[in-house]
Chains A and B, each alone.
Chain A
Amino acid sequence: MYDMNKQETAVTQKEIKFSARDVQVYYGDAHAIKDVSVELEDKTVTAFIGPSGCGKSSFLRCLNRMNDTIDICRVEGDIKLDGEDIYHKAVDPVQLRARVGMVFQKPNPFPKSIYDNVAYGPRIHGLARTKADLDEIVEKALRRGAIWDEVKDRLSAPGTGLSGGQQQRLCIARAVATEPEVLLMDEPCSALDPIATAQVEELIDELRKSYSLVIVTHSMQQAARVSQKTAFFHLGSLVEYGETAQIFTNPVDERTESYITGRIG
């Protein structure tokens, strides 16, 4: 078996973007994430799957320290982005979040114009020096969000007036406008219809060229369609992590198999 397979792994071997070691998350006394260690690759879509309540979102939110905003939440362990500990005292979570963007489950555009939605991040981070710069950044982000053609004639219209699928793509455009290195998506399609979902999935595949993406999803088909790596969580633990194809066709752990075949979840 010294063959194709091994060579292929060698070719696709990518840099490690995030590496997490023995991560614990507590909400008050509740232990939501237990001993999770994982290494996420750059320019890869990693899917987090598992039954609801198993801690997918909790772990995802550790990666850009959004858990900091929850008073009772406590994170232990060691998470490194490009080798730097993101929970180090000297790290400003705001700077971290500029590098690690996030797209939420429910589309949440600001109640401002489409333009201002996308321009907000670049503005507060000082990415554009002139109005023309900013226009360019906004256009580029909207193109990347695969929504430019639909909104280019009404950039000053409210972002909240778009359809659900458009709003979610606007949120993705907003997230990429700040030029993050990693994009975290927490069930980005759960509020969308199948057509909008397909559009977002296509977009995710496109974004993989430039970013490292982590997507939490309820739908195993979606995970299979868009991701290269899959992590299966169960009751707060990371049960299995590996190539998506392998997880779906040949899972090692029987809990993974049960979940994939629909026996738990």
Chain B
Amino acid sequence: MSDVMSNPGRGLQTQDARARRRHRAEVRFRAYGVMAIATGLILLVILLGTIVSNGTGAFRQAFVEIDVYLDPAKLDKKGNRDIADIKKVSTFGYAPLAQQALLAEIEARGIETPLRKAKEMKNLLSSSAAAQMRDLVIAQPEMIGQTVSFRLLASSRVDGYLKGRVMRENIAKDKNISVEQLDLTDALIQAGVITSGFNMAFITGSDASESRPEQAGIGVSMLGSLFMMVVVLVLSLPIGVAASIYLEEFAPKNRLTDLIEVNISNLAAVPSIVFGILGLAVFIQFAHLPQSAPLVGGLVLTLMTLPTVIISTRAALKAVPPSIRDAALGVGASKMQSVFHHVLPLAMPGILTGTILGLAQALGETAPLLLIGMVGYVATNYPGGLASGFLDPNSAMPAQIYEWAKRADPAFYERAWGGIMILLAFLLMMNIIAILLRRRFERRW
């Protein structure tokens, strides 16, 4: 006490040089931390901003709303309403009807345009518009002869014009749209014939050919991803958890288990394309499983996910205090009872989190899918059933995105961004599920 009084230099309320240096270092360190986090946040905002600004377009679509007379003379020449005969009329039979209906609409509304021929309406309508009409007629043949209100897909050029992607200055060499057609589009928008609305088909639809980006959707590849995730979950969770429990709780500690352990850690770092080529050789060329099938994709992704699941499960098991095992054994539980009654439930949050993160990683994986043919134009519609869901050729969300990004038409590019948004939404959802499961299983006592 008197010491401090007599030596004010060492008082508690005055800092010496050492303390000041220490404080300055601390302040600097905190500043570095804040800077690092701020940089990260800014980059994240830029990333998300870019994705959203590029991708939202995919969720809107231009439609042409017109009344079309389903002319029996064209659609049912024999007049007997026989479904077999009706089916013989291809989309080429329907396209002129839509074009004429649009022309009639223009005349009825008194819109001034130099375009006088039905053919010249072709570029305004999607080539899938005819298919849309044909599908209705085949489903309800009694509609033939009636005038039906349709909400037909506009062509990707018209759609792009609405979104600002297609501009007058840039279309000089474009065979698929002309300035007059854009003038007409403006007038039709004014008249409320061309409208823009939410594009449900992008979320539920299947991929479309290169010339019809307006029709392409991610729905079917979403199913492909879903079926793959089912395979991955059903295989990697039980195999991974069983392997981890054995290694962690039962296996003797010797050279062999050490070797296995090292190999599992190494497998987690193997590039995914290696698993892809392994899958190609083993599952397709050797086991003769169908190409491009979600089953094979799921198997390949399982190989890739297993090390992640095993590593996180083992970490979760290791984190359970040994005193719990002793307690169980002490009251006469067998090793297995102690693991399944006490250790595993306590490790559950960690196991589930690890598994879901592994699944999320698998969901975003593209490279191995390239090698087993799950990337490319998949012209199918929805799989007919469970078996065909696993065995029919399909794509997956990231592969579909990659496929779209590859195509020339900027309309596909926009869809690629839209697909990224959906993929990110799924990943976000899986992470939220992981957090919720954690909360649910974590008994904080």
Binding site for B on A (CB under 8 A): 64, 66, 69, 71, 94-95, 97-99, 101-104, 106, 108-111, 120-121, 124-125, 158, 160-161, 171, 174-175, 177-178
> Chain A residues near B337 (CB, 8 Å)?
124
Q: What distance in Å separates the Cβ of A175 from its nearest Cβ neighbour in chain B?
A: 6
Name the contact of A104 in the complex, choosing from B330, B333, B341 (C-beta under 8 A): B330
Contact A94 B332 (CB under 8 A): yes
- B326 CB to nearest chain A CB (Å): 6
Nearest 10 pairs of A and B residues by beta carbon: A98-B332, A158-B445, A121-B331, A108-B323, A102-B330, A97-B332, A108-B327, A94-B334, A160-B445, A178-B331
Q: Which residues on the B side are within 8 Å of A175 (C-beta)?
A: 330-331
Q: How large is the interface on B (under 10, 10 to 19, 20 to 34, 35 or more residues)?
A: 20 to 34
Known contacts A71-B252, A104-B323; is-contact A95 B329 (Cβ 8 Å): no
How far does the alpha carbon of A111 sit from the alpha carbon of B327 in the complex, in Å? Answer: 11
Q: Which residues of B contact A120 (CB under 8 A)?
A: 328, 331, 333, 341
Q: How far is the CA of A121 from the CA of B337 in the complex (A)?
A: 11
Q: A106 near B323 (CB under 8 angstroms)? A: yes
Residues of the B chain whose Cβ atoms lie less than 8 Å from the Cβ of A106: 323
Within 8 A of A (CB), among B316-344: 321, 323-334, 337, 341-342
Q: Can you give 9 A-B contacts (C-beta < 8 A)?
A: A64-B330, A66-B330, A104-B327, A110-B324, A110-B328, A120-B331, A120-B333, A160-B445, A175-B331
| CB-nearest residue of chain A to B254 | A71
A174 to B331, CA, bound (A): 8
**Which residues of chain B have a CB within 8 Å of any CB of chain A?**
252-253, 321, 323-334, 337, 341-342, 346, 443, 445
Q: Which listed residue (A98, A101, A158) contacts B443, Cβ 8 A?
A: A158
B323 CB contacts on chain A under 8 angstroms: 104, 106, 108
Question: What's the least CB distance linking A126 to chain B, in Å?
Answer: 11
Q: In the complex, which residue of chain B has the Cβ closest to the Cβ of A109?
A: B327
User: Which residue of A is nearest B443, CB measured?
Assistant: A111
Other than A102-B326, A175-B330, give 20 A-B pairs with Cβ distance below 8 A. Answer: A64-B330, A66-B329, A71-B252, A98-B332, A101-B332, A103-B330, A104-B323, A108-B323, A109-B327, A110-B324, A111-B443, A120-B328, A120-B333, A121-B331, A121-B332, A124-B332, A158-B443, A174-B331, A175-B331, A178-B331
Q: How close is A107's CB to chain B, nearest CB, in angstroms?
A: 9
Q: Which of A94, A108, A109, A158 meets B333, CB within 8 Å?
A: A94
- B346 close to A95 (CB less than 8 A): no
A124 to B341, alpha carbons, bound, how many Å? 10
Residues of B within 8 A of A66 (CB): 326, 329-330
Chain A residue numbers with a CB within 8 Å of B346 are: 111
B445, A108: Cβ atoms closer than 8 Å: no
The answer on a CB contact under 8 Å between B332 and A125 is: yes
* Chain A residues near B325 (CB-CB < 8 A): 69
Separation of A95 and B332 alpha carbons in the complex (Å): 6
Q: Point out the residues of chain A lying under 8 angstroms from B342, CB to CB.
A: 110
A108 touches B324 (CB 8 A): yes
Q: Please give the distance in Å from B206's CB to the nearest CB on chain A.
A: 49
B331 A98 Cβ-Cβ under 8 A = yes
Residue numbers in A under 8 Å from B445 (CB-CB): 111, 158, 160-161
Nearest CB of chain A from residue B336's CB, rounded to whole Å? 10
Q: With A71-B252, A158-B443, A161-B445 known to touch, is A124 a contact of B333 (CB < 8 Å)?
A: yes
A171 to B346, CA, bound (A): 19
Contacting residues, chain A, for B324 (C-beta < 8 A)? 108, 110-111
Asked whether A97 and B331 contact (CB < 8 A) given A71-B253, A110-B342, A111-B346, the answer is yes
Measured between beta carbons, the chain B residues less than 8 angstroms from A108 are 321, 323-324, 326-327
How close is B195's CB to chain A, nearest CB, in angstroms? 60
Closest chain-A Cβ to B330's Cβ sits at a distance in Å of 4
Set of chain B residues within 8 Å of A177, measured between Cβ atoms: 331
Whole-angstrom CA separation of A95 from B337 in the bound complex: 13
Residues in A neighbouring B329, C-beta threshold 8 A? 66, 69, 97
What is the distance, in angstroms, from B216's C-beta to the closest C-beta of chain A? 52
**With a CB–CB cut-off of 8 A, which chain B residues contact A102?**
326, 330
